[in-house]
A and B are shown apart, each in its own frame.
Chain A
């Protein structure tokens, strides 16, 4: 329990301290160190899970098992690398006068607060607390999206607030319905929201109520995942906020929201499976597949129309989250394993890309792709980083994304063969969209007076190498965790 307390307590404490001292020059370094300390605590937690299997018992308030342990570590890791990137970025913003003291305090305090809410959402056993943490994550980042106070930023933040607020409210209704179904079976009312208890008794819940609850929860949390048609906040929020925010929003928040959906899906599957005649036991799966495929296709098409580089990559996020949702919806061990792997590698790659994009827009002085040119000539590290990162996210072998997409395609061919075609076409369309914009950015003629900037590409390199490693050879402990999670989610192990 100690490791968990540190993992949660460090960001919380840091958030409060930075709320007071966030404008000092040492605050940025402090931010990095606390994020690193959080990462260390999460590694300690992972080590504990490796030894003991599961943290938390049947009816505890916190529950860390093989599904969320690597997500917790991933969150802390990406939080740390983004904090590392955020340090010089914020220094520059401060120096140029774009951000005042108060906003620096707000930024740093919300950054750590956001990490805290994500870790809380991942490690809690209580579905109600999960909801509170998700809403908290939204609230922590709303004012950050509008940090620059331009009309575009205000609009993006308002859309984000309203759409995600409504989504979360629907998710709360779904949680209430879930609690309603559970409270009729589980005697102790305080235990009726604990996931571990719910998963054990899921076959006793009424299928109709569970189905309705799942729909609300899917639409609700799905808004935060960025599923089409609830995605309209995502490109705006990711492009208007400061780049470190885009990195953590894309890399982490979407994952945690999808994690919440999958946890609920496990319970709903259990409830529906008991009544296969009256109720379609595949309802959650079909819904997720539908939303996933829709998001994937629409985002892939929208990629071609983009003009802002951060919007381009946020549509790529929507596309990948659609793919992961589709994979979880497809069910079965192969697709589930692929989805878990994809969650991990997408998070690593996307945050690395956003960091690189932050440097790229700094070099070119703008976010519009039409005005960013010749990155490889000006600063090869950034240019190559962007090129490799995009190649990784587009699904080039031997990166991890290729492996997970390949596994997903095989699973689709086995379960729903006719869906392989839209998947392949969508992947091709997305690939074309990304590279069509990327090519002139990295290879074009560099305009006059474009100079390299001081850019720490180490976080990017480390993350991309991790993705490469995961594509070539998944370490045994991670594969085991994925397998246990696959067993939990789909009922069968893969390995």
Chain B
């Protein structure tokens, strides 16, 4: 029962729910800067969860992981995106979501679906963190939904980064963190990916004069 768990484990569950909420919030955002800020908050929540799990399980390398998450996902990548967005002058643009109510309903349905898929895993583990596997899967799937429902490059990239947040949360919640070597590698990859995305935005903008990726459709199979 929930009331029999120690306080920091309850905190982990609450933080998991808040991370899920931040995914919903990302899906509903219209403004680019607000999206970047919500993404930073999500990173902070994930880092907090990592810290609590580190305290709970005694895996001390997780403190380092949490610090890495803060440095990368809360500070560096939002700063990079912020800078890019300002340099490209799109910080006042509205990156609208088509049919926001529909997207939110789909998101809720997907969360329920993820819970259903994660049920067998749920029944296995005895630790508190088994419940959070469903939440982490949901965060991954919601990041994917954001990628699909958005038309502008910056929103898609934020969806992609939020997907990575969900993955990291899955690793922390389900398994008390992966070995340090792997985590460092993943962090490095995310960093390089973010930098390359940044470079990419300029290429896209120079090439098609906007960041609307719906216009990148020359190579589709046409009937000729």
A binding-site residues for B, Cβ under 8 Å: 126, 128-129, 131-132, 135-136, 139, 142-143, 146, 149-152, 154-159, 161-162, 165-166, 169-170, 172-173, 176-177, 179-180, 183-184, 189-190, 192-193, 206, 208-209, 212, 235-236, 240, 302, 305, 307
Known contacts A172-B186, A190-B179; decide if A302 and B221 are in contact (CB<8 Å): yes
Residues 160-199 of chain B: 1 if any A CB is under 8 Å from the residue's CB, otherwise 0?
A: 1001100100110011101101100110110011001101
B61 to chain A, nearest CB (A): 10
Spell out B's residues near A (CB within 8 Å).
Answer: 59, 117, 120-121, 124-125, 133, 137, 140, 144, 147, 153, 156, 160, 163-164, 167, 170-171, 174-176, 178-179, 181-182, 185-186, 188-189, 192-193, 196-197, 199-200, 203-204, 206-208, 213, 216-219, 221, 224
B137 near A173 (CB under 8 angstroms)?
A: yes
A166 adjacent to B182 (CB under 8 Å):
no
Min C-beta distance of B43 to chain A, whole Å = 16
CB distance from A127 to the nearest CB of B (A): 8
Q: Which residues of B lie under 8 Å from residue A162 when comparing CB positions?
A: 147, 156, 160
Contacts of B204 in A (CB 8 A): 154, 158
- Chain A to chain B contacts (Cβ below 8 Å), 24 pairs: A126-B179, A128-B186, A129-B185, A131-B186, A135-B186, A136-B189, A136-B192, A139-B189, A143-B199, A154-B203, A155-B217, A155-B218, A161-B200, A166-B147, A169-B140, A173-B140, A177-B174, A179-B171, A184-B124, A189-B179, A206-B124, A209-B120, A209-B121, A305-B221
Q: Are A143 and B196 in contact (CB under 8 A)?
A: yes
**Residues A151 and B218 in contact in the complex (CB < 8 Å), given A176-B171, A177-B121:** yes
Given contacts A161-B200, A176-B175, contact A132 B189 (CB under 8 A): yes
CB distance from B185 to the nearest CB of A (A): 3
| Set A126, A151, A165, A192: member contacting B207, Cβ < 8 A | A151
CA–CA, A162 to B197, complex, Å?
10
Give Cα distance in the complex from A251 to B3, angstroms. 57
The verdict on A132 contacting B192 (CB below 8 Å), with A169-B140, A169-B163 known, is no
B50 to chain A, nearest CB (A): 14
A135 to B224 Cα, complex, angstroms: 36
Known A-B contacts A142-B196, A173-B137, A177-B174; A132 and B217 likewise in contact (beta carbons under 8 Å): no
Q: Contacts A139-B192, A173-B167, A179-B175 given; 15 further ones with Cβ under 8 A?
A: A128-B181, A128-B185, A129-B185, A132-B182, A132-B188, A154-B203, A155-B218, A159-B216, A159-B219, A161-B200, A166-B163, A169-B140, A176-B170, A190-B179, A302-B221
Q: Is the CB of B213 within 8 A of A158?
A: yes
A42 to B96, CA, bound (A): 52
A23 to B175, CA, bound (A): 46
Residues from chain B with Cβ under 8 Å of A157 in the complex: 200, 203
Report how far A150 CA is from B59 CA in the complex, Å: 49
- Chain A contact residues: over half helix, strand or loop, or mixed? helix
Q: Which 8 A-B pairs have the closest CB atoms?
A: A128-B182, A132-B185, A155-B216, A208-B120, A135-B189, A154-B207, A180-B174, A176-B171
Q: A126-B181, A189-B179 are in contact. Are A165 and B218 (CB under 8 A)?
A: no
If A158-B213, A166-B144 touch, does A173 touch B182 (CB 8 Å cutoff)? no
A236 contacts B147, C-beta separation under 8 Å: no
Q: List residues of chain A with CB within 8 A of the CB of B117.
A: 212
A170 to B147, CA, bound (A): 14
Q: Give A424 to B173 CA distance when docked, in angstroms.
A: 48
Assembly CA distance A209 to B137 (angstroms): 13
Q: Report the separation of the CA atoms of residues A430 and B216 in the bound assembly, to the nearest whole angstrom.
A: 29
**Is B216 a contact partner of A154 (Cβ separation < 8 A)?**
yes
Instruction: Name the contact of A128 in the complex, choosing from B120, B174, B178, B221 (C-beta under 8 A).
Output: B178
Question: A229 CB to closest chain B CB, in angstroms?
Answer: 13
Taking CB atoms, residues of chain A closer than 8 Å to B185 are 128-129, 131-132
**Nearest Cβ distance between residue A85 and chain B, in whole angstroms?**
25
Q: Given A166-B144, A172-B167, A209-B124, A150–B221 Cβ distance below 8 Å? A: no
Q: Across the two chains, which residue of chain A brings its CB closest to B169?
A: A176
Contacts of A193 on B, CB cut-off 8 Å?
178-179, 182
Q: Kindly report which residue of chain A lies nearest to residue B153, judged by CB atoms.
A: A158
Whole-angstrom distance between the alpha carbons of A139 and B192 in the complex?
Answer: 7
Q: By the criterion CB–CB under 8 Å, are A151 and B208 in contact?
A: yes
Chain A residues near B193: list those with CB within 8 A. Answer: 135, 139, 165
